[in-house]
Amino acid sequence: MLYISVPLGKLVRRVSRLRGGGSALPGLVVEKIDPGFMKRTLSTLPHGVAVVSGTNGKTTTTKMVVELLESQGLKVFTNRTGSNFTRGVAAALLGEVDWRGRLQADVAVLELDEAHAVHFVNSVPPRYCLLLNVLRDQLDRFGEIDKTAQLLQHVAGKTTGTVVLNREDPRVARIAETLTGQQVHYFGLDDSLLSTFPNDDDMRAAPGSPLPAALPEKPHADVVLRKVGPDTADFEYDGVTVTTAMKLRGVYNIFNAAAALALARSICGSGAATADHGTLLTALSQVEPAFGRGESLVVDGQPLDLVLVKNPSGFRLGLKSFAAGGYATMIAINDNYADGRDMSWLWDVEFDSLRDGGVDQLTGSRAYDMALRLQYDNVPIGAVEPDIAPALAAFIREAKGKPKRVFCTYTAMLAIRRELSKITTVEVVS
Amino acid sequence: MTEESPVSRAGKGNSKGNSKGTIRILQLYPRDMNIYGDWGNALVLKRRLQWHGYTPELLEYNPGDDFPADVDIIVGGGGQDSGQLIIQEDLQLRAGTLTELAEDGAPMLVICGLYQLFGRFFKTRLGTVIPGIGILDVETQGTDERLIGNVRVSTPEFGEVLGYENHSGQTTLGSGVRPLGTVAKGTGNNSKDGQEGARYKNVVASYLHGSLLPKNPAIADFLIRTAAERKFGTFDPGTPDDHYALLAREHAARRPR
Ligand SMILES: [Zn+2]
């Protein structure tokens, strides 16, 4: 059967591409004229649909899962553009289906934010879901952290096959208690690494305080991250610990690699039988960070690291993962809708680690909120300029010959990349 | 500058260095009621006390702890519904102590969740009545609607107050309190009367996170001055550098809701 919606949607997609528009419009068109399009197309996939959700790390993790599955010879459909919305998925499908609406893929791996994942699973129940974490992020949109956990619980409940959960995030791990028919797999951390992952409840808590109730006994995890070296990591699965080289930096990203491995093993079938672990590990070692999540560029012959910070836990991990010494530092804080309007979260981050070197440049629509925050942590401040273009130019000029690091919110990062490509040759190294 | 204030009672003043004396700040339930940066309020009090030449001492009170003596300023924040459930019972045990302190003029700042529980009661959407400790003559009704966004408030005492609200409880003031101010942008206490926060004696209650005190140093200094006068008879202010606060206020006031 031939559906008029697909050719029409593809046409809108082309036009909106030419006009430099985003991916939402063509998705909207198809959704309006053919509401069953997405469900119909995705239901034909032999391995079904896997949804990746949680507050932090969705994009990098989704990318890892895709590369792991591809290493096993599967053809994977994914929403690569980073569109977090049902509409974005519909638009991405339009780009991949042929003119008759057929999708040439074995499995779909979709990144969805918590609120939109709920809408999505109501119309397309996934066969797998991977739930990463529940942290304070964009609470102005979702209300409260417990509510966010409920959204993820709903996603897990709609899953028909296997649910993969973060054993170390009590709000996520406890979702298992609400499930009946599904298989549950966990990914976990070695006890020695737990302290490098403060969760939001630990932030102000006295050491050892029992909040929220952790699982009475740690369940067995399918994949455990045991150790992180400068460019290696140790993963344990099937009772064996293996060391692999890693291109990803930061403990946090590597924990997400354990998550990706657990989901890929669920999809391919775990144990020695179905997944080829040699190729899985090779694929894992070659994964590079997704757009914007900790990128290294070269500007004027010096490295410039962009570190995306969008919530307190992300900012704290960013400060912890990258030593401040020897780097010139800029912080760019915007409060556009996509960043979240609320600046309260800056007060949940401690900036002591920047006190010795100071911060050279502050920018963004909330540059002065950031300056005020640093003042209260006694961190020396160089220049403050809310306008990103001149601030970035000044930062690069003043820090000539020094490696640079920029902590930035989402829309600030987009603006910085745009500016960088104008003022200098940008070479992406990883 | 090193003299002990003559009214410094029973060794409460600090004798070390050039300090004008020690002020003890108590954070109420920081483990369960500390959301949207409310910790920033305690940090601002601590630093500004230093900048004014006093020695701050930061204390925490969590459920089951001994309640510390000689507390000069009390601050408390908002929490998840689950956090509120955890502290409720313990708060009732401390109602007497807290009421005595408030009636005696101790400066207090309570934000969002603890603002509600400092009132007479909180009635949930489903009709369950959670008793407060009644220091403030206010009552709160839970709703389905979440009031979220940047807020500007005109206040008679502190000038323009800026912050960010995020709550679904709607609070109505009784005749025993006055509002902190009138909302110029945002919603405040409830979607009806255009008022925000509550004032009683030296208790300041507000829905505003942000955190509240960094961009509203006038409120921080009110709490500090009140604490110093209560303890030492006088307040001898220093000169904190507030130029980033002023610029942050200017920029924040122009941001969309
Ligand atoms: Zn609140």
What B154-157 contacts at long range (C-beta under 8 Å, 24+ apart), as own/partner pairs, is B154/B181, B154/B182, B154/B184, B155/B180, B155/B181, B155/B182, B156/B181, B157/B199, B157/B218, B157/B222
Residue A384 confidence (pLDDT): 98
Going by C-alpha positions, the residue among A167, A183, A129, A182 that lies closest to residue A151 is A129
Mean pLDDT across the stretch A282-311? 77
Q: What one-character DSSP code corresponds to residue B209?
A: B
Rounded CA-CA distance A334/A214 in Å is 35
Amino acid at A416: I
- Cβ burial of B229 (10 Å; 0-12, 13-18, 19+) is middle
Residues in chain A within 8 Å Cβ distance of B39? 203-204, 347-348
Q: Report pLDDT for A425.
A: 60
More confident residue, B45 or A422: B45
| Sign of the dihedral through C-alpha A116, A122, A124, A126 | positive
Cis bond upstream, residue A289 (ω within 30)? no
Lowest-confidence pick of A49-63, A118-132, A281-295, A407-421 = A281-295
Best mutation target among A370, A376, A377, A384 (most B Cβ atoms within 10 Å) is A376
Residue B14 structure tokens: 């600090």
Burial of A149-164, coded b for 16+ CB within 10 Å and e otherwise, reads bbbbbbbbbbbebbbb
Q: Which residue has the higher pLDDT, B229 or A7?
A: B229
DSSP string, A210-235: --SPPPSSPPP-SEEEEEE-SSEEEE
Q: A31: pLDDT confidence band, cut at 50, 70 and 90? A: low
Rounded CA-CA distance B214/B244 in Å is 10
CB neighbours of residue A106 within 10 Å: 18
Omega before B175 cis (within 30°)? no
CA dist., res. B127 & res. B167, Å (int):
18
pLDDT at A279 over 70: yes
For residues A138-152, give the mean pLDDT: 70
| Distance between Cα A139 and ligand 1 center (Å) | 10
DSSP-derived secondary structure letter, A81: T
Distance B142 CA to ligand 1 centre (A): 13
Residue % of chain A over a pLDDT of 70 = 77
pLDDT, mean of residues A343-368: 94
pLDDT value of position B40: 95
Q: Quick check: A375 contacting B, CB < 8 Å?
A: yes
Helices and strands of chain A, counted as H and E runs: 17, 16
Closest CA to A279 of A83, A429, A68: A68
Kindly name the residue from B52, B112, B167, B243 that is annotated as catalytic: B112
Output Rg (C-alpha) for chain B, integer angstroms. 18
Instruction: Decide: helix, strand or coil at residue A303.
Output: strand
Mind telling me how many Å the CA of B85 is from chain A's nearest CA? 12
Alpha carbon B111 to chain centroid, angstroms:
6
The alpha carbon of residue B245 is apart from the nearest alpha carbon of chain A, in Å, by 6
Name the pairing type of β-strands B55-61 and B108-111.
unpaired
**Mean pLDDT within A59-67:** 90
The confidence score (pLDDT) of residue B11 equals 35
- Residue B165 Cα to ligand 1 midpoint, Å, equals 6
Which of the residue ranges A152-161, A211-220, A278-287 would you say has the lowest mean pLDDT? Answer: A211-220
* Lowest mean pLDDT across A27-31, A70-74, A280-284, A325-329: A27-31
Please indicate whether residue A414 or residue A259 has the higher confidence score (pLDDT).
A259
pLDDT at A143: 58
List, for chain B, all residue ranges whose pLDDT scores fall below the cut of 70.
1-17
- Determine the pLDDT at residue A203: 46
Query: φ and ψ at B184, to 5 degrees?
Result: -100, -30
Rounded to whole angstroms, how far apart are CA atoms B161 and B206?
Answer: 10
pLDDT at A272 over 60: no
DSSP string, A121-186: HHHS--SEEEE-------HHHH--HHHHHHHHHHHHHH-SSEEEEETT-HHHHGGGGG-SSSEEEE
Query: For residue A211, how many C-alpha atoms fall within 13 Å in the half-sphere facing its CB?
Result: 23
Q: Using pLDDT thresholds of 50, 70 and 90, give the confidence band for residue A197.
A: low
Decide if A352 touches B, using CB distance below 8 A.
no
Instruction: Give yes or no: B209 in active site.
Output: yes
Q: What is the mean pLDDT of residues A384-391?
A: 97
Q: Which residue of B has its CA nearest to A203?
A: B31
Q: What integer is the mean pLDDT of A367-372? A: 98
CA nearest B59 in A: which residue? A206
Phi, psi dihedrals of residue B156, rounded to the nearest 5°: -70, -30
> Mutating which of B86, B244, B250 best tests the A interface, going by the most A Cβ atoms within 10 A?
B244
| Closest to A162 in 3D by CA, of A130, A133, A206 | A130
pLDDT of residue B7: 36
- Residue B243 annotated among the catalytic residues of the structure: no
pLDDT at A412 exceeding the cut of 50: yes
A159 conformational bin, left if phi > 0, alpha if psi -120 to 50, beta if neither = beta
Facing B82 at nearest CB: one of A140, A212, A384: A212
Contact: A346, B37; criterion CB under 8 Å: yes
Chain B residues near residue A386 by CB distance under 8 angstroms: 251
Write the pLDDT tens digit of every residue in A203-255. 443 333 334 555 667 899 999 999 988 788 999 998 889 999 988 777 778 89
Q: Which residue type, as a one-letter code, is found at position B32?
A: D
Q: What pLDDT does B2 receive?
A: 36
* pLDDT of A4 over the 50 cut: yes
A286 vs A396, more confident: A396
Q: Nearest CA to CA, how far is A138 from chain B (Å)? A: 10
Q: Are A309 and A345 in contact (CB under 8 A)?
A: no
> pLDDT averaged over chain A?
82
Nearest residue on chain A to B217, alpha-carbon basis: A372
Number of CB atoms found within 10 A of residue B134's CB: 16
**Mean pLDDT computed over A109-133:** 90
* For residues A161-175, average pLDDT: 93
The per-residue pLDDT for range A297-334, each reduced to its tens digit, is 788 888 888 888 888 877 887 887 777 778 999 999 99
Give the tens place of pLDDT for each residue, A170-181: 889 999 999 999
pLDDT for A9-21, tens place per residue?
A: 665 666 555 444 4
Ligand 1 centre to CA of A125 (Å) is 34
* Cα(A198) to centroid(ligand 1), Å: 23
Whether A198 contacts chain B with CB within 8 A: no
DSSP string for residues in A372-397: HHHHHTT--EEEE-SSHHHHHHHHHH
Of A367, A376, A386, the CB nearest to B214: A376
